[in-house]
Structure 1
Amino acid sequence: MAIADLDLIAIRRHLHAYPELSMAEFKTQAYLKEIILSWQSSWLTIREIPAVPTALLVRLTGSKPTRTIGYRADIDALPINEETDLAYASKNPGVMHACGHDIHMTVALGVLAYFATHQPVDNLIFLFQPAEEEQAGGKQLYELGTFVNEWRPDEFYALHDQPAMPAGQIATRQGTLFAGTTEIHLTIKGRGGHAAFPHQAQDVIVAASSFVMALQTIVSRNVNPVRGGVITIGKLQAGTIGNVIPNEAKLAGTIRAFEQADLEMMQQRVREIAQSTAAMYSVTFDLELNQGGYWPVNNDSKTTTNFMQFMQEDKEIDFVVSQPAMTGEDFGYLINQIPGTMFWLGVGDAEHGLHDSHLAPDESAIEPGIRAITKFLNWRMQQ
Structure 2
Amino acid sequence: MKLNDTILAQAARLTQIRRDLHAHPELCYEEVRTADIVAAQLTEWGIEVHRGLGVTGVVGVVHGRDGGACGRAVGLRADMDALPMTELNTFAHASQHPGKMHACGHDGHTAMLLAAAQYLAQHRDFDGTVILIFQPAEEGGGGARAMIQDGLFERFPVEAVFGMHNWPGYPVGTFAVSPGPVMASSNEFKITIRGKGSHAALPHNGIDPVPIACQMVQAFQTIITRNKKPVDAGVISVTMIHAGEATNVVPDHCVLQGTVRTFTLEVLDLIEQRMREIAQHTCAAFGAECEFEFRRNYPPTVNTPAETEFAREVMRAIVGDEQVRVQEPTMGAEDFAFMLQAKPGAYCFIGNGDGSHRGRYEGGGHDAGPCTLHNPRYDFNDDLIPLGGTYWVELATRWLAGPKR
TM-score range, shorter chain: over 0.9
Classify 1:247/1:226 alpha carbon distance in 2 versus 1 (closer, same or farther; 3 Å). Answer: same
The answer for the alignment partner of 2:308 in structure 1 is: 304
Structure 1: how far apart are the matches of 2:295 and 2:123? Answer: 43
Structure 1: how far apart are the matches of 2:208 and 2:283? Answer: 11
Secondary structure at the aligned position of 1:241 is classed as coil
Percent of residue pairs identical: 34
**1:228 alignment partner AA:** A
Structure 1 residue 73 displacement after superposition: 0.8
Do the aligned residues in 2 keep the contact of 1:180 with 1:257 (CA within 8 Å)?
Answer: yes
The answer for the alignment partner of 1:127 in structure 2 is: 133
The answer for the alignment partner of 2:152 in structure 1 is: 146
The answer for the alignment partner of 1:373 in structure 2 is: 392
Counterpart selection for 2:142 from 129, 133, 136:
136
The answer for the alignment partner of 1:59 in structure 2 is: 61
Which runs of 4 or more aligned residues in structure 1 lie more than 3 Å from their structure 2 counterparts after TM superposition? 2-6, 313-318, 349-352
Q: Greater shift after overlay, 339-348 or 184-193? A: 184-193
Do the aligned residues in 1 keep the contact of 2:170 with 2:353 (CA within 8 Å)?
Answer: yes
Secondary structure at the aligned position of 2:99 is classed as coil
Residues 1:24 and 2:26 are matched in the alignment: no
Per-residue CA distance 1:153-204 (angstroms, 9 max, x = gap): 1100000111121123211111111111211122333222211111112222
Per-residue CA distance 1:127-172 (angstroms, 9 max, x = gap): 11111111211112212323105x0211000001111211232111
Structure 2: how far apart are the matches of 1:157 and 1:17? Answer: 27
Counterpart selection for 2:382 from 342, 363, 369:
363
Gap regions ≥5 residues in structure 2: 1-5, 356-369
Classify 1:168/1:15 alpha carbon distance in 2 versus 1 (closer, same or farther; 3 Å). Answer: farther
Secondary structure at the aligned position of 1:153 is classed as coil
Secondary structure at the aligned position of 2:55 is classed as strand
What TM-score, normalized to structure 1?
Answer: 0.93
What TM-score, normalized to structure 2?
Answer: 0.88
1:171-320 alignment, distance < 5 Å: 171-292=176-297, 294-315=298-319, 318-320=323-325
Classify 1:285/1:22 alpha carbon distance in 2 versus 1 (closer, same or farther; 3 Å). Answer: farther
Structure 1: how far apart are the matches of 2:389 and 2:331? Answer: 26
Structure 2: how far apart are the matches of 1:129 and 1:358? Answer: 24
Structure 2: how far apart are the matches of 1:322 and 1:222? Answer: 28
Aligned length: 376
**2:240 alignment partner AA:** K
Structure 2: how far apart are the matches of 1:14 and 1:251? Answer: 41
Classify 1:239/1:26 alpha carbon distance in 2 versus 1 (closer, same or farther; 3 Å). Answer: same
Classify 1:180/1:116 alpha carbon distance in 2 versus 1 (closer, same or farther; 3 Å). Answer: same
Classify 1:223/1:352 alpha carbon distance in 2 versus 1 (closer, same or farther; 3 Å). Answer: farther
Classify 1:378/1:217 alpha carbon distance in 2 versus 1 (closer, same or farther; 3 Å). Answer: same
**1:305 alignment partner AA:** E
Structure 1 residue 315 displacement after superposition: 4.5
Counterpart selection for 1:89 from 87, 90, 94:
94
Counterpart selection for 1:118 from 117, 123, 128:
123
Gap regions ≥5 residues in structure 1: none
Structure 1: how far apart are the matches of 2:165 and 2:319? Answer: 22
Secondary structure at the aligned position of 1:381 is classed as helix
**1:135 alignment partner AA:** G
**1:47 alignment partner AA:** H
**2:299 alignment partner AA:** W
Do the aligned residues in 2 keep the contact of 1:177 with 1:299 (CA within 8 Å)?
Answer: yes
Structure 1 residue 347 displacement after superposition: 0.8
Classify 1:113/1:281 alpha carbon distance in 2 versus 1 (closer, same or farther; 3 Å). Answer: farther
Structure 1: how far apart are the matches of 2:131 and 2:293? Answer: 36
Secondary structure at the aligned position of 2:331 is classed as strand
Classify 1:236/1:168 alpha carbon distance in 2 versus 1 (closer, same or farther; 3 Å). Answer: farther
Classify 1:352/1:214 alpha carbon distance in 2 versus 1 (closer, same or farther; 3 Å). Answer: farther
Per-residue CA distance 1:78-102 (angstroms, 9 max, x = gap): 1111112222111111111111111
Structure 1 residue 338 displacement after superposition: 0.5
